[in-house]
Structure formats: structure tokens, C-alpha cells
Structure 1
């Protein structure tokens, strides 16, 4: 594909060449440029975004007539939905400071074209240049559903972008996608109509498809690496668990620095094998020179240390630091380069790392530590030869360029012929963007949300609760972004609606405020604007099981969007932010914010004051922080003439995202309150402690952070003495004073919002997707989850229940009066016996919205889900509910669905919650009134089939056929066929009928086929041998 035409030919000619190359027939309209406002007559806005446009070209139309070689309908005659794509060309100039147009700006322009020509989808080709390189962007818009019978106005489609395509040296990832846009003109996959073209391009521009492709390749690499690597076993003796956690941590670190490379903050040379070969001598005994000499030095001695130009004692080799007297022995002191024995030219090495800005003192701290007299190696960032063989991450895992076939069947179902290549090779073949996509505009590139996606899915592969499902999946353990965005928006709308008086007019304006597609402040009343601004400043939001930070990031994006509309110049928000900064840091912070973007300042204030996360997985907390770091990084621009390249060090988020068990209180109901043991001295020490935590948030010096952390340790020691003197229980005293949020490799087995976050009066919103784990499952070698939580005073506790029920109850306890909870969980609580207590619990409060999503929200997850939003207030009996079915499951606008098809549920109780029309509700009540409940029939109803391992005993048609085909004769086949029986699962039972999913269960009682022999007890070799004799094909299947 020759894109250089965009530099050598007139723009429209180059656009025509592009579509010719894609085999797409176009009826061309005009080669002449026009003013943007002459084309966008109704949608042009005289603002900074639209002023980026120079000329607009109405290039042509692709419709069925074009495919048939006929003339297209005149655009002036199109007045209703029309099967055609309009093609426009737009030339742009750069924004301020010579910067390329942002994704959101390109999307806003494309969306204006889509609205102007609302009867057809639109493609916009942009051209722009920074003076050195020439770029194009390809914007593809979804068709608008303009007329909605239940709602006025239009439904805006998604804009998908392929941007910053260097036309002279295009990235391989860009070329791959452009080549995928090329249509076939003959054969069974021929695209020969507008409809086929539209559907084909929607698939090519699907970020979900791209993410899935990347995750599949990355997960294959991960499972391949599991058997190639070695990490120290000082803390975790289980090799599989140890390798999994360390590899996941390493992958997320590498992906983070890859995003930094895309931002231009890390030199690409460090990932170029030919360049690295000149720096290294590859002398490591385990063949792991690249990981140790390049990546570990980058992680642990560069990103968390000042640049050498700003501090001459920084970024030097450990032996030089000793020689110059900067350290004594350097033992366990990170911040100095190791492995000089593997480096051929130390000065060339240092020069390559010189221009990488200092980011954060705790961003990539080595987890190696000393406990009492014992050294615990986890990352094993060590120069000592004795540790060389303790860490192995071979070079070929990074730079293997040729695909090789490997057997991954130990980790993946059907994994015996998987193709793998090096991690750097994989990353280099995809296009990345540092901006997170939104549900309404997305770049066809891998964005920072990928960190969360990768983490959630890889973590699922080794967690016992999800490992067997993960073996079959290609990335399903992640809340879809559309769901996240809806829950975030709806919870914010409910919160601010209550703040403004709960009238419908305000509610509609709030929907506009949190809409990516509506511009400007919808509130013309200055008092309302002020109320919302103050409300945003004061809002406190918690995700008690934050995972990799999807919901906290969604909150951040939506609140930044609102601030952009409410306070466009950021005057009020910046003043309020600076007012909260500790006095001694105010001048420094004010100066550091001087040249920062408006969104950087918005994000910084929101992160410090409004958004909090908890997760029991330490690595999840680390990834949540990394995503927030990236979100702040993208708002900063480099100035090489200023210290640290004018990149403000990232805030320390250790007291915003904490690793803890949010289901367990510090105190039980029988304990005296924590506040009961406070006196003036304790309160003074607590104030000092929280003041220091606030200073740590803002400090941009690693040495200053270490100094403040030591002060915190001293304060905790003094608090321990005070609590002991006041009679506070020793176990609680130890817990509260030993909690160290800066220890990245451990989690607290309790959670207290006041002590950890300083939140005394409750949160305004609690939101998230808590885990789904049956309480009867084992949480360790000795106990089940039920044993862990049975004495925690949960009103909703049932031994046969699920852990998400406890999260509902705990989430409500975290709220202030009038606050809102929004969770997506399994929907079994609506009808199951174990949900009775939870339904009674909800009926005591004010449920507002219930959306039963059913299956397929998580592609390969095994549970049906629902969304519940409930207010901590007296029940107003105004729950609006809907079941998402086949007809509307692709409709992203849940608010519109509720408005159109929602049912009002009243008189909620502990009985099963049923979502149905008024007629269905009446029928249900009639059946219940005159019918006889199952419990009153003389029948026994037990649990469903407990196979012990569903993956082995529940099989599909293909596996059944394979087992039957492997029988050695007809007799064995008849016997085998008789024990493989069709099975219905709960999800296969619909409201009035069932849908068999083509699944079968291998039904064999214990001791089968000698199960009627009463003389057999316990495990029986005799029964097993008889089973092998009569059913060898089934036996061989079960052995797998």
C-alpha cells in the first residue's frame, strides 16, 4: 500500500488512490475544497477544535449504485436512512505549541459530519503535518439511529479512528489494519454491497477484535514463559504461583514502559535488538542478560531516580557510587545501576538512559527487602554473582522473531499447537495509543485499558476459582467498558440529581453533562453550576474490589468531562485544588502546575480528593496506580530545557489505592468503637500522620518521600504506645499501627476507611464488580470462605451463598446516608434461596435501577449478571427494572431502554424478584394466589448435579462424538452412549421454555459400574479396573 501519494499528489487524488487500493468503488463528487462552515452548515462551532480545519473536500459516496457501476443518488435527495457511506477529506493544521491533533478533536470533527449528514454513515480522511512528518487519519463513524420512537433527538454513533499514520514510514500495526480494510471482490467472502462493506469495516475497526487478538498472542507467550523462567522462592515456595505472579507483574511493567515509549519518554533503542546487541555482552549464566541489564536497570534504577542532569549523584553504577562515597556497600539499595559486567560501554549505556524523566519514587520499587536479619529476594535486583542463577528470564523470550510452535496444553485447552514469538516482537507489531478510549470514540490501537484487560485475564488463569474457565477463554474476565461507563454515569447522575432536588429537568441536563457527544454546559443557572462544582470537589467514591481500576478510571474520565463543561478555563477548580495543598508545598506545586494542561490539573485534584480503591490483590493495586499514572502522563508535554524535561513527578497513590480485605472490619460489633479510645494526644498524632500522607501525595523527591515514610513509622510507634496505654485491644493496636501502605508486596487482612483514607462520614458512591466466589469453596488449605466470614456479623451471610452478597452488604455500610451503591454481579440472588436474606436487606433501602443482563456480557464467563443501583435511604418503591434480551442486548443506551421498556417493581420483599410487564406481574400473582408452591408438594428438591469437575464430565456434541468414535466396537459404543445423557443448566431454562445448549453429562455414580455392589467401600481398584474394561474410551477421556 503506497501512502506516500499523500505527500506527492493533490489530497483528493491521494484519497482516490487509497480507496482504489482498498478495492472500494466510489462515485466521486468533487475535487474542489470548501470552507468547513459551508459543508457543516448546522453543526459547525466556532471553537478551537473546529478552527483546526483548513479545507473540506466532499470526495464522494459508496453505495450499492457504486458497486453496480451506476450513478449514486444526489445527496440533496437523501432525506431518510440511506444505504451509503459519504467520504470527506479534511486538511488540518497543528494545535497550540505545534502539537498534533488529539484523538478527541478528530472524533468531534468526524461526529459533526455524521450529525450534519444524519441519514448516512460517514468516513473522514484527515491530513496534517508537523513539518517533518506527514500524517493521515481514517475516521469511521457508525450509522445513526436518528429516529427513536421513545426518545426525542438522535442517538450518536461511535467514531473509530486510525490516526497519526506516518505516510512515508507507516507503522506495521497501521499497515495491518489498512490492509484488513481491503475488500475481496470475488469468491464467497466478496463484499459487493454497501451493507456488506459497512458490516465488514465495523468489524475491522472493532477495538474488541484487536484487543482479543493481542491478548491471545500475549497469553500464549505468558504460558510459554511459565516453563522458561525462574524467580527466587524466598517468599513463595509454590513454583507455579510464584512464576505466575512475577510474570504478570513483569508484563504489566513492560506494557507501562511501552506506553512511555509511545509518549516519547523512553528511547526506542532500548527495544531494538540490533542496538542492544552493541551495548551488551550477553554473559549472564542463565541467558537473561537483557532482562537484567536493560529492563531491571530501567525499572529499579531509572524511573524512580532523578535525571543525571538534575542530580549528578543519580543514575550511576553501584560500584561508582561506592567509589565516590555516595553509599557504603549499596546492599539492597536500589536507585543505582547493576550488572556492569554485562555492559560493553558504560558511557553509551548511561547516555541512553539519561533522557528518561524521573516519574515517581514508588513507581517501580524493587520488592527485595530485609526482614530482621533475613534477606528476601523477589525481584532479585542484585549484582552479586551468587544470585545470578536465582533469576532467569531468557533473552529469547523477548526477541524471538520467528514464530515457533509449542505445546501449551498444560495451561490451555486445545493448546498443543500454539504459535509463539518474543514479547518485544509482539509489542512492536501492534499500534499503541496513550489515550484511553471511550465508548463513543476510540482509536483502533491498544490503549492503557489494556493493562487492566491483560491483568484481569492472566490473573484468572492461576486463581483457583477461575483457572479452569480461563483455560478455555481468550479474555473474558473483564467488565466491558460500555457497562462500566453506564454504571459510572448513572451513579453520578443519581448522586447529583439528589443534590439538585431530584426533578426530571435536572436529570436530563445531567445526562447531557456526562455525555461525550454533547458539548457545552447544559446548566444555564449559575447556582446549579456552582452546586455541581462544589459537589464534585466534595464527592468521595470507593471501589471496594477495584481489580485493575476499570471503575475508578471511568469515574475519573466522566468527572473530567463534567469539569471541562462546567469550568472550561479551570479557574475555580485550580484555585480549589491549590487551597488544599499543604502550605509548605504550595509554592512548589503552584509552580509545577504553571504550564500543565487543564485536564492534568482536573485529574490531579480528582485523584487526590475523590477516588479511592481497595483490592485484596497487591498487584491489582499496582496496576490501578499505573493506569492513573498513564492518565496523568498523557496530559504533560516535554520541554527539554527545563528540569526533568518539564515532566512533573507523578503523585504517590499509596493512600488512594490500598491492598486490603474490604469485607473484614477492624472492629466487630461487640468491640468498643475505635473513637472510644481517642484522647487529645491520639488525635494530635493522627492529624500529623494524615498531614504527612498528604505531603507524600505531592512530593516529587524520592529522598523526601523516604524521609516522610520514616516519620510515619515513628508516628505509628508513638500511636501504638498511646493505644496500649488507653486499653485498646493489643491485636487491634498491632493491626492498625503496623499497617504500611508503602509495602507493595503485602495486603491488610482488614479495611477501615477512616484509618486508611481519612473518610469518617461514609462515601457518596460505592461502585464496582465484586468477585463471584461460592462461600463453600476453600480459601486455603484449612478453611472455606464461609469460615472466614461467618463471624463478621453479616446479616446476608448464608453458607451456601456467594461472596458478592457480602460485598453488597459491606458496600452499603461504607455509604453515607443518602449515598448510592452500583454493582454488577451474578443475578442469582434475585431468585436463589441463598439470596433471600439479601433481598430482604435491599428492601430495607431504596433500590432505584435493576438491569438483568443475562448471559454473554462477559464473553466466556459462566454466570448471568445484573446491574443494581440502590440508595441508602428509605424505600420509595420506585425500582425501575428491565431484562435485556436478544432484541435489545446490543443497545448500549440502558437509560433509553429503561425509559422505553422498564417495569416498575414495588412491594419488594424477601421473595424472589421478578421483572415482567404489568400483565406478567398480574399473572404471576394469580398463579401464586391459586397455585400450590413446590415446597408444599410431596417431592424432594436437591442441588443440581455436582460432577466434581464440570470441564471433564460436561461435554459438547463434538466431544461426545469423539468419545463414541473411539469405542472399539458396537457393544462398547452402546454402553458408552447409555451413560452420556443430555443436560440442562439453570441458564438454559427460560421463562416459559428451555433452550438446550447441546451439552451432555457423563453420568457415572461412585464405584460405577459396580455401584450396586454393597461390599465395596471407599476408593476401589476393582471398580476402576472394571470401568476401564467396559468403558475404555470414556476412561481415556477422563484421564486428560
Structure 2
């Protein structure tokens, strides 16, 4: 079958709700000679009673016999409810077992679905009866045991991706000449969707192994202590070693016959090695695994003159180098063992019902793929990126979270890496410190959408643009996807109507220059974790250079190949050779990282090695992995040599030469000697600095990575997700547990910090700035409070004065944390003009252009976000020609009552009526609470009774949306859940403030300008009240009169809702006219001009008289022909009004 047709069948079948006709068509194409004459349907009494709660009906649509004579049934099973697919998996599996036993079969392909969700989510499973051989009373016996269905299932349907099913089933579907064997079908089903279950089972393995090692009596702990390694790290390393071998055995590198090439090995080598150990009565770890790790893989072998052949294992084994398989203990003499049943057993997994909780049992249930840089065609499997996530979650088990570290989702990493490269290339290629950033080329949506064009350009003063930034953007984001298209154009020698270059001309013409910039880049993650960002940057750099390869000049290519240590003939013969050498060179020259957790650096190095292994396709000679000890370093990023410390440049140059040798060294003794020399020199310099500084130093950037400063002046890009940890209260106690050197005082002495709630990310931001070169890029994901909290204003001020802001994006989807996030990108350059930058309200919004002055004009230097450019423009128009409310009205919070002392009912005569937030509604108070007002009952700062007892005051509730604002004439004291105005100028009135704060415009302004997080309960701050925009009308008496009307109607609870509604709408319209007078006049919707002569209601009038006045005015103004009614009802024809009202719906 043609590949395209096969793919279409798979996608129609597995990417949609279950359809029996499509499934049957797929099966007939998969199993060429299936016998459909055996079709049967079973329902009602034909379903065994024990399964009737779960099974509605099932069909046997055919019987298949493979080339070896093994038979298999194909079943379609309708369960009674979709939830049964997950919650009754054991019963469903047992149901299939029952069928197989009745029909004397050992295998089945089964589709499980339910009509409760119209078959939207369903399961395609391979089930077999497994025969386990065991010894009983000296005789061999076989017992039937079903392999867990989950292990051999694809979860498919309209809500699931079918990529795994497509990838694994496609070869069988394409092969129309041969019927698949049962073994081939089983192999296709040996993969399942990787979920959190993998982590849970992996954590179980970690705990079991750790507990075993903790109780070891062979001196393991003592030996590890000498090497400064604890049991958790040793356990994680062991699991990492095994996982690594799972990856490389998939490449056929293990168990390779001595006369075969690499790639021809046993793809279940570890599993078969285990069975060999069991068959020979040996301990798998003690007798086999240690020898494989520390003898076979850690050394070069050429027994019998055959490169790679190791006679003790009777096969070829690759020399991996790098340090992963270097022993941390005396493995030959330690006597350490791990029970075989920790590798394989028959225990049942509680949640899933799977059989086997050993290391090999768990890993066998999942597919491993080394590729972690595929785009949309991503395998649902355990890849290095997934492994990184698991390892970082594992670090939480050993206090990783207490250090404020969280795994960064792949999508965020991908975006940040690309964004960093775009800015880096723009800065390094185009010497253009422009007055305004180019904002008109494109608006990039961050999550899966196309680039949007058409916004007006704000560019001014371009200087020597070689490659426009928008072209760089296309190159980095889409260049790799354009590769195949553009290669075709190059082969044709010209563009055609069908095929045109997708890569911009400026990129193609300047390929040498761009490639050189990419090759020379220096990147660092100061809190590397599992290596997500460095690995992400590695993939972006390699992909970008692969795109450029077809355009670079022959002269440049020749020089580049010399540097990469590969010939043109080699890459012409084997294109993957170029990829491999490029990636290896990038790791050596460009990637750096630091983490305080040694386990984190272990997994980061592991991911780097795996990224190399994926591209190593030299079947004659597998190259040894590089040593990354001085590229990815364990240490405290924040504490280094004092900035003014004397540096020994001669020793640093010696260290650079030694580190370069060490990177490529592959002889164990030579490496040991080099490591001793390097560490000795580093320790000597650090010890000298410690004596001068007075505190412990275990790491320094300019010492460990001195070559970066000698040749580059710092890092071109510093990127990452620093720890988010508030160093107060319980968090501080946790931090002190994991930070034995108690560096908090040192941090405070060296960095800007907020005294209210110092946080580790603030220190990392500043450290990142210091290690970034001039004009380099800093790109961090951090808590969003950095963008607007008052406590962060000093740090914002530092970056505003000392860097050029590039982009801020709020509200990233970060599933495992509660804190809202932002990405912050800046360039290390002092600003010289009123430049432009971008802020996004969230990942789906368009970029909103800002000028620096828009931030610096605000005393709090807030990085405000808006949902649209239109909203921002409207906000600015409202602010223009307005004055801050504080100029005419002063506000404060109510008194602070101690907990439990404010009561709903009056409990004694000493209590007085007071008001809480819940005491007020819109315009009026509802009912008071009671409180004994005396010193010992009061907390907080507001105690001044002369303010609290003001007779007439406007009250505002502190929390919630919309704003709740009321007028109080009682003189009751407001409690701290309320704000109140205690001083108002004679130019405005309480009634006027009442209208403003209950208006749509003020609510819209509050929501879009002052509220920082609408996803949580908004909180009105006292400083927010101060900055509400105020315009004082010349005809304020009209506003006062309408305010009195509404207050009276609300207070007396007038039953005519139309009257109330009309005057509220009228007041709303009057506020709009106050702020948009020319727009409303142009639309001929004026209102105030028609309210001249409005009658007032004075306090002298009785309630009945007041109501009569209001009703008379209502009848007059509500007349269908009166311009006030017409204009109020049609006011949203004015664009500004319509935008604001729509935003509040």
C-alpha cells in the first residue's frame, strides 16, 4: 500500500470517534488474510453475568492466522459507559481473557468503545495470554498470566493524537505482500501513551532502590560519602544509567555480534542480560550490570583485534565516555548487590493493574525515543525531554521544590529559545540602536497561530540594517519547515509559480555572516535544572545552521568543516555526520549551565549526551561522548568571587587549555589526572578568594568559564527559569535546610532585594545581567509580580536604567504551579533614547507597543499589559487632560478590628454600629455590624476617630469586581475591609464621586488599568484610588442632582425599577460625556445640554415630595421624543462607549 494511503487509513480510524466500518477497513488492510466469515455478535444472555455491568455487547469480526500458524481474534467491544475504559480496565481485560479461553486462543486485537460519549475516546488493544514457566515440586509447569492491556494499548479517538499509532502501525500497513506475525503485531503495540503514570512508577523505583541502599551493609554509604555523593543522587544516577541504555539499545548499539556493524545489536539487550543472570543463578546488578557499566561501557575494548568487542560479554559494546559510567565507588570490591526482584517481579501495580513493579518491568511498558526535537509529529513516548520532566519532578521528592525550582513546559522553552535567538541575531548583525523598535512587520501569536500582518509601523531612525528583524523572525521560526521546499527550488535552479523560496532573500544572501554568528554564540542557564533550556537552544542552533548550509559559500563551508573536524566527502556520503559534528561542536563551544543540585547537572549532561547519540550514525566507529564536567557545573550561581577580586589571568589561561583537553579526553587515567589538576587550580584560587571575601565560594563564572570572558566578554544569551522562592517564614526555614552555607546575608549585601519579601529569582535576575555581555540578551521566566508589585519597583528601576527592554509576556500556562508568570526579555545596554518594546497580556494576545517614556512617566514603573492596542489607546485618552483623584479627595482604610470582635448582632451596650465590606451595596449601606471600639481591640494604623466619624462619606469595598461604592450619612465607623474619603475639595462632592465610582467607565478603567490579575479576586488598593482619573465638570450641579436622585431611589427601595434603571443609565452616560465630550458631540449624542433646569431634591423636602420631583423629571426625560432618552439609549453608537460597555459584558 502506498504510504499516503496508509497514513490516511490510520488517521481516519484513530483520529476520530470510533466507527466500526473504518476500524474494519483498517483491520482488513493490516491483516491481509483475515477470515471475516467467523463474524459473530454477542449481547444479552450471551454476555457472562460477571461482565454484564461493564459490557453492553461485543462482536467478533474475524479470525487471523499468522505465517507461523498462531491465531488471533479481532473483537469490537461496547462498554456501558466511557468511564469503564479507565475504571474497569481489569474487568475488561478479564473479559477478553474469558473470550480467549472459550475460543482456545492466546491473542486478540480489541477495540473498546462506549456510546455514552459517541465513541469519542476509545482504546485499541493487543491482548495476549502469557505463559510463565515456574518450578513446582521439582517439575516445570506453565501457568497462564495476562500481560496488562495498558501495556499494549493505544488510547485513540477524536481527543487523542494518533501519531504513535501511525508511526508504529504504518510499516505493517504498507507491507501488502506479507502477513504480519504475532511477534510483529506485539512489537507494534509495545508502546503506550506516556502519562504521569510513568513518573509515579519511576518514583516508586527510586524509593525502593533508595531504601535498599540505605540499608546496605557493604559500606556503600561510606564510599559515596568520600566522593561527596549521597544515596538519592546515587540512586538517580543508577536509574539514569539504565534509562540511557534503554535509549541506546533502541539504536542497536548493545549486544552487537562481533562481526556486525553498530546498529545490528540486540534491542532488548538489558532484558536478555537479566534473563541470562537469572538462568545462571547470578545477581543481575552485582554480577552483570556493574560490569556492563564500569568495565564494558567505561573503557575502550578491542578483544581479538575487533574494535568494540568485549569477550566477557561475547559482543561489541560502545565506549561511551563522558563520565556517566565512571564508578563513584570501588565496585569491584564493594560486594554491593540489588535483589533481582527489584528488576523484575510479579507484583501488581495498584493504580493501573499492570503486572511487574521492577525497573525493567516499568521501563518495558514504555517506548523510548531519543528524538526530542521533532515538531508537530512528536512521538508519544519517553523521550529525553520527558525524562527531564520526570527527573525534575523527582528532584521535588528530595526538596527540589523547597528550592523554588519547577519544570518549564516544552512550549515555553521552545518560544523563549527562538525569541532569544531572534534578538541576538538582530543585535549582532544589525548595528541599529533605533529610536523605536519595528512594530509593524508582524504580530506573533505564541501558541500555534500564524503571524499576523498589517499593524502600522512605528519605526524611526534605522541604522545599517543588513538583515531585517522580520526576516530573522521567519528564519528562526519557520526556516526549518521551509528547508525541503527551498532545496527543491535550488535543485531546479529557479523559482516557479509552484515553488518559490520561503526563506527571505536577506537570509540567503547573508548566510555566511548569520552562520558565523550562530557558531560563535555563548549561552548560559544559571539554574539549569534538567537542561531544558540548553537542550532547547542546542536544537534551535543546529536547525538554524542546517537551514543555512545550502546557502553558505564554498569558501566559508571549507573553513567550517575544518573547525567541525569533518570532510566534505564524509558529509556527502553521510549527511548525518554533519549534523552530529555540528551538534558536538555547539555543545563544546556554546552551551554552559550551572545548578546547585548535583542531580540536576547529572540529568542535564545526560540529555546533552542523548542529543548527540541520536545523530551518531557512524556504523563503523561510534565516537566517544565528550566530558561535560566543566560545561555543566554543580555550584551556587549567586555566590562567586567579589567583583573587585584580583584575577590570575595566567592560571585562568592554563585552566582553559586543560579544560579543552579534558572535554575530548577518553582515557580513564588521563582524565583523572586532568580533573585533579583542574580542580586543584580552581580550589586554590577559590580558597584565596574566600580568605579575602570572608565567605565560602564553590563556584565562580569568570573562573570556571573564563574562556567566555577572554574571548567574548560574557554570554550572548542568558536564559532560564530561575528558582522562585520567597525567603521568609516557612520557606526561609526550608531554604536554610538545603542551603547549608546560609548565603542569604551575602545575597542581601550583593544584590538589590525587597525587604518585604525577598525572592531568589530577584537575585538570579541580577546575576544573569552581570554575566551577560554588553548588548547580550537576558530571557527569564519569572513570577509576574516582578512586572507590577510595589515591592519590585527598585529592581524594575535597575533594569529600566541599565537595559533595553525587548518583550514581556504575561500569563504563561504553567500547569504545576499556582503563581502567575511572565517572560522578561531585555538587552544589556544602557538606553540612550525613548526606544520601543512590546508587552503581551497573555500568550494568545497580540503584542502591544510601548515607548520607554510610558513606563518611566509612572512613578511605580509598572509594566502594564492590555488585551489590545485599542484598550491601551483608550486608557491613555481617559488619562489625558485628567488629574489624579488624590488632588481633590483623600482616602484611607477603615480601622483594623482584631479577629472575631466584630459581630452581626449587638452583644453589649459598649458596642457601636460599624460598617464592613459586606455592609454596603451600590450607592447605599445595607446593615451595620457591631464592635467595641477601644485600643486593645484595634490593630492597624487607622485609629483617628475624627476621620472615622465623618458624618457624610463615600465608602468603597476593597475586594471584588465590579466596584461597590456607597454613600453613608450615618457617621458609622468603617472597618478595614472598606476605604472611605475623609477629605474632599469644595470643587467636587460626595454625590459626584458616587456617580464616578459606580460608572461603567470607572469600572472599565479599574479592570483594565489597575487590576493586575483578573483570574483572582481583584483588590482595590489605596494607591489605586489616588490615581483614578478625575475631570471636574463646569456643570457639576447636574451630576450632584442625579447623584441625589439615585441615592434616594436606592435608599427608599422604590419599587419602580424602570425609574432606577433609567437614572443609572443616565448617570453612566453623563460620565461618558465628561471624558469623551468631543466624540459624543460629533455623534450628536449630547446629554448634559438637555439637562439644564433639572429640579433638585433638597433635604427640606419630605420623601414623598422628593419622589414626586423625581417622577416628574422621569416622565419628562423618559418621553420617547426627548433627546435625553434617545441619546442615552443609543449612546453605544459612539465607538468609545461601545468598546467600554462590551468589555464589561
- Provide the rounded CA distance (Å) in 1 between the counterparts of 2:889 and 2:290: 64
Asked whether 1:483 is paired with 2:412, we answer yes
Q: Is the 8 A contact 1:573 1:602 kept in 2?
A: no
How much has 1:695 moved relative to structure 2? 2.0
Residues 118-138 of structure 1: per-residue CA shift (max 9 Å, x gap) = xxxxxxxxxxxxxxxxxxxxx
Residues 982-1035 of structure 1: per-residue CA shift (max 9 Å, x gap) = x9999xx986697679xxxxxxxxxxxxxxxxxxxxxxxxxxxxxxxxxxxxxx
Asked whether 1:367 is paired with 2:355, we answer no
- Provide the rounded CA distance (Å) in 1 between the counterparts of 2:235 and 2:886: 58
Matches within 5 A, 1:862-1011: 862-875=818-831, 876-884=834-842, 891=844, 897-899=845-847, 906-909=853-856, 910-916=860-866, 917-920=872-875, 929-931=884-886, 937-938=892-893
- Provide the rounded CA distance (Å) in 2 between the counterparts of 1:715 and 1:192: 61
Q: What residue number does 1:251 align with?
A: 239
Q: 2:298 aligns with which of 295, 304, 307?
A: 304
**Number of residue equivalences:** 685
Comparing 356-365 with 919-928, which one deviates more in the overlay?
A: 919-928
Q: 1:762 aligns with which of 702, 710, 714?
A: 714
How much has 1:941 moved relative to structure 2? 9.0
Q: Is the 8 A contact 1:435 1:631 kept in 2?
A: yes
Q: What residue number does 1:509 align with?
A: 471
- Provide the rounded CA distance (Å) in 1 between the counterparts of 2:209 and 2:673: 39
Change (3 A) 1:536 1:220: same
Asked whether 1:441 is paired with 2:377, we answer yes
- CA radius of gyration, larger in: 2
Residues 845-872 of structure 1: per-residue CA shift (max 9 Å, x gap) = 34534444437x2212121111010111
Matches within 5 A, 1:529-928: 529-568=511-550, 575-576=558-559, 597-639=577-619, 645-668=620-643, 671-674=644-647, 678=648, 683=650, 685-709=651-675, 712=678, 731=691, 749-760=698-709, 761-776=713-728, 777-778=732-733, 779-781=735-737, 787-796=744-753, 798=755, 800-854=757-811, 857-875=813-831, 876-884=834-842, 891=844, 897-899=845-847, 906-909=853-856, 910-916=860-866, 917-920=872-875
Secondary structure at 2:159's aligned position in 1?
A: helix
Q: 1:452 aligns with which of 374, 385, 388?
A: 388
Residues 761-801 of structure 1: per-residue CA shift (max 9 Å, x gap) = 11111100001111221333597967343454213454622
Residues 137-160 of structure 1: per-residue CA shift (max 9 Å, x gap) = xxxxxxxxxxxxxxxxxxxxxxxx
Q: What residue number does 1:170 align with?
A: none
Secondary structure at 2:805's aligned position in 1?
A: strand
Q: Is the 8 A contact 1:764 1:819 kept in 2?
A: yes
Q: Is the 8 A contact 1:767 1:822 kept in 2?
A: yes
How much has 1:220 moved relative to structure 2? 3.8
Residues 781-824 of structure 1: per-residue CA shift (max 9 Å, x gap) = 59796734345421345462210011111111111111110000
Residues 729-784 of structure 1: per-residue CA shift (max 9 Å, x gap) = 57369999xxxxxxxxxxx6332234434221111111000011112213335979
How much has 1:554 moved relative to structure 2? 1.0
Residues 440-492 of structure 1: per-residue CA shift (max 9 Å, x gap) = 3312222121231111110012216449x9xxxxxx93211111111111111
Q: Is the 8 A contact 1:302 1:356 kept in 2?
A: yes
Q: Is the 8 A contact 2:528 2:593 kept in 1?
A: yes
Asked whether 1:350 is paired with 2:303, we answer no
Q: Is the 8 A contact 1:203 1:209 kept in 2?
A: no
- Provide the rounded CA distance (Å) in 1 between the counterparts of 2:208 and 2:611: 31
- Provide the rounded CA distance (Å) in 1 between the counterparts of 2:794 and 2:407: 28
- Provide the rounded CA distance (Å) in 2 between the counterparts of 1:919 and 1:652: 57
Provide the TM-score with structure 2 as the length reference.
0.52
How much has 1:262 moved relative to structure 2? 1.0
Change (3 A) 1:525 1:990: closer
Q: Is the 8 A contact 1:851 1:881 kept in 2?
A: yes
Change (3 A) 1:25 1:523: farther
Q: Is the 8 A contact 2:163 2:377 kept in 1?
A: no
Change (3 A) 1:845 1:687: closer
Q: What residue number does 1:145 align with?
A: none
Residues 587-639 of structure 1: per-residue CA shift (max 9 Å, x gap) = 99999999661111211221121111111112211211111111111212243
Asked whether 1:264 is paired with 2:193, we answer no
Change (3 A) 1:466 1:821: same
Q: Is the 8 A contact 2:193 2:381 kept in 1?
A: no
- Provide the rounded CA distance (Å) in 2 between the counterparts of 1:701 and 1:295: 21
Change (3 A) 1:527 1:452: same
Q: Is the 8 A contact 2:778 2:827 kept in 1?
A: yes
Residues 546-595 of structure 1: per-residue CA shift (max 9 Å, x gap) = 111111111111111111111238866765456658xxxx7999999996
Matches within 5 A, 1:401-480: 401-405=346-350, 421-463=357-399, 465-466=401-402, 477-480=406-409
Q: 2:345 aligns with which of 373, 395, 400?
A: 400
Structure 1 unaligned regions, length at least 5:
1-5, 32-177, 317-346, 369-380, 407-414, 470-475, 640-644, 737-747, 892-896, 946-982, 998-1040
Change (3 A) 1:589 1:183: same
- Provide the rounded CA distance (Å) in 1 between the counterparts of 2:888 and 2:20: 65
- Provide the rounded CA distance (Å) in 2 between the counterparts of 1:534 and 1:619: 34
Secondary structure at 2:300's aligned position in 1?
A: coil
Change (3 A) 1:185 1:903: farther
- Provide the rounded CA distance (Å) in 2 between the counterparts of 1:513 and 1:19: 34
- Provide the rounded CA distance (Å) in 2 between the counterparts of 1:785 and 1:923: 50
- Provide the rounded CA distance (Å) in 1 between the counterparts of 2:204 and 2:719: 33
Change (3 A) 1:398 1:535: same
Secondary structure at 1:809's aligned position in 2?
A: helix
- Provide the rounded CA distance (Å) in 1 between the counterparts of 2:572 and 2:301: 20
RMSD: 5.0
Change (3 A) 1:924 1:464: farther
Q: Is the 8 A contact 2:808 2:825 kept in 1?
A: no
Secondary structure at 1:559's aligned position in 2?
A: helix
Q: What residue number does 2:63 align with?
A: none
How much has 1:12 moved relative to structure 2? 5.9
Secondary structure at 2:778's aligned position in 1?
A: strand
- Provide the rounded CA distance (Å) in 2 between the counterparts of 1:943 and 1:486: 49
Q: Is the 8 A contact 1:439 1:481 kept in 2?
A: no
Change (3 A) 1:275 1:306: closer
Secondary structure at 1:780's aligned position in 2?
A: helix
Q: Is the 8 A contact 1:543 1:613 kept in 2?
A: yes
Q: Is the 8 A contact 1:880 1:905 kept in 2?
A: no
Q: Is the 8 A contact 2:508 2:548 kept in 1?
A: no
Change (3 A) 1:921 1:247: farther
Q: Is the 8 A contact 2:406 2:723 kept in 1?
A: no
Q: What residue number does 1:1015 align with?
A: none
Q: What residue number does 1:114 align with?
A: none
Q: Is the 8 A contact 1:612 1:656 kept in 2?
A: yes
Comparing 554-563 with 936-945, which one deviates more in the overlay?
A: 936-945
